[in-house]
């Protein structure tokens, strides 16, 4: 299934994509697409509904983040061998784990705000995991049982904040609007092999990233298992899993985003996103509200 959330900020409704690619309103079945919706039991109930009998969503609706009320938004750094090579970093012996602020989550096509004073805002197309079951000390051989599905994430990053201001990477990763998710959450039964998905990202129509999840250093199962040994993963939590080469920081000379730039990105089977980058001073007052 492909599950979506549509409507205005803070008023999103749950939806499902029907066989014709149209959004059907799931409000009569579940109140929202959140952790409470993502258990195996709840997903089975949705799966048993004939989507064609549900009301069509009004045309032209904004898409919200494909999962709401995420309590944890976790990220894995330097998880593609070819990306590590472009940055000159050694292959990590264990996953590099950091946090993105849940408050940075926005819809897949919402504007992204370049932070005040930023000179090094960068792009990263990533496969994101959405957790469906409470997970603690999970073994890699059972880790996928705790996954509800997958979605596209643009792990927007401010490299000066991340790497030059001391402390943790989190400072450059959780700025408002730095976590577009969607367009939809694809349940894991539709993704035969999450380790064999092509991915791409364009800036102003120019291809910057072309990659595949085949080059991930730590696969989805390993990541879920590993993180669950350091924290409790709850339904609705999101783990974004790293990016292939082609980020602005890795170019010679480096290239970063400026107001007016348009970033498009996608992953095989998971859909596409498109964001316009805007200056902090030009951002609409409600751009960074909820998700």
Above 50 in pLDDT, residue 3? yes
pLDDT digits (tens, 9 = 90+) for 141-153: 999 999 999 999 9
pLDDT confidence bin for 85, thresholds 50/70/90: confident
Q: What stretch of H or E contains 149? A: strand 147-154
First to last CA, the chain: 21
Asked whether the beta carbons of 244 and 198 are under 8 A apart, the reply is no
pLDDT (average), residues 37-65: 94
Distance of alpha carbon 291 from alpha carbon 105, whole angstroms: 6
Q: Where are the alpha helices (DSSP H) in 54-150?
A: 81-87
Above 60 in pLDDT, residue 227? yes
Distance of alpha carbon 274 from alpha carbon 277, whole angstroms: 10
Asked whether the beta carbons of 257 and 177 are under 8 A apart, the reply is no
Distance of alpha carbon 201 from alpha carbon 267, whole angstroms: 9
Domains and CATH numbers, the chain: 67-282 (3.90.850.10)
Above 90 in pLDDT, residue 284? no
Q: What value does the mean pLDDT of the chain take?
A: 94
> What pLDDT sits at residue 166?
82
pLDDT confidence bin for 286, thresholds 50/70/90: low
Q: How far from chain centre, in Å, is Cα 215?
A: 18
Above 50 in pLDDT, residue 158? yes
> What pLDDT sits at residue 290?
46
pLDDT (average), residues 104-112: 98
Of the chain, the percentage scoring pLDDT greater than 90 comes to 88
Above 90 in pLDDT, residue 87? no
> What pLDDT sits at residue 285?
53
Asked whether the beta carbons of 224 and 259 are under 8 A apart, the reply is no
pLDDT digits (tens, 9 = 90+) for 241-281: 999 999 999 999 999 999 999 999 999 999 999 999 999 98
């Amino acid at each position: 299934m492909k599950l979506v959330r549509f409507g205005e900020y803070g008023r999103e409704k749950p939806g499902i994509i029907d066989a014709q690619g149209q959004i059907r309103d799931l409000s009569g079945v579940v109140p929202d697409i959140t952790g409470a919706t993502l258990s195996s039991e709840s997903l089975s109930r949705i799966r048993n509904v004939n989507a064609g009998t549900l009301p069509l969503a009004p045309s032209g609706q904004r898409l919200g983040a494909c999962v709401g009320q995420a309590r944890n938004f976790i990220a894995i750094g330097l998880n593609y061998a070819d990306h590590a090579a472009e940055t000159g970093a050694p292959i990590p012996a264990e996953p590099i784990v950091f946090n993105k602020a849940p408050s940075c989550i926005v819809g897949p096509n919402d504007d992204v705000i370049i932070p005040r004073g930023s000179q090094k805002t960068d792009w990263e197309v990533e496969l994101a995991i959405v957790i469906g079951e409470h997970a603690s000390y999970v073994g890699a051989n059972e880790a996928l049982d705790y996954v509800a599905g997958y979605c596209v994430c643009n792990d927007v990053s401010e490299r000066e904040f991340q790497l030059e201001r001391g402390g943790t990477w989190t400072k450059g990763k959780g700025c408002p609007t730095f976590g577009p998710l969607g367009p939809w959450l694809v349940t894991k039964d539709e993704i035969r092999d999450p380790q064999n998905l092509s991915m791409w990202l364009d800036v102003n129509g120019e291809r910057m990233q072309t990659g595949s999840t085949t080059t991930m250093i730590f696969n989805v199962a390993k990541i879920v298992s590993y993180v669950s040994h350091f924290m409790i993963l709850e339904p609705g939590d999101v783990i974004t899993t790293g990016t292939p080469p082609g980020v602005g920081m890795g170019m010679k000379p480096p290239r970063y985003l400026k107001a007016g730039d348009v970033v498009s990105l996608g992953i095989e089977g998971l859909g596409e996103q498109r964001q316009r980058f805007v200056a902090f001073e030009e951002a609409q007052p409600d751009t960074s509200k909820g998700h």
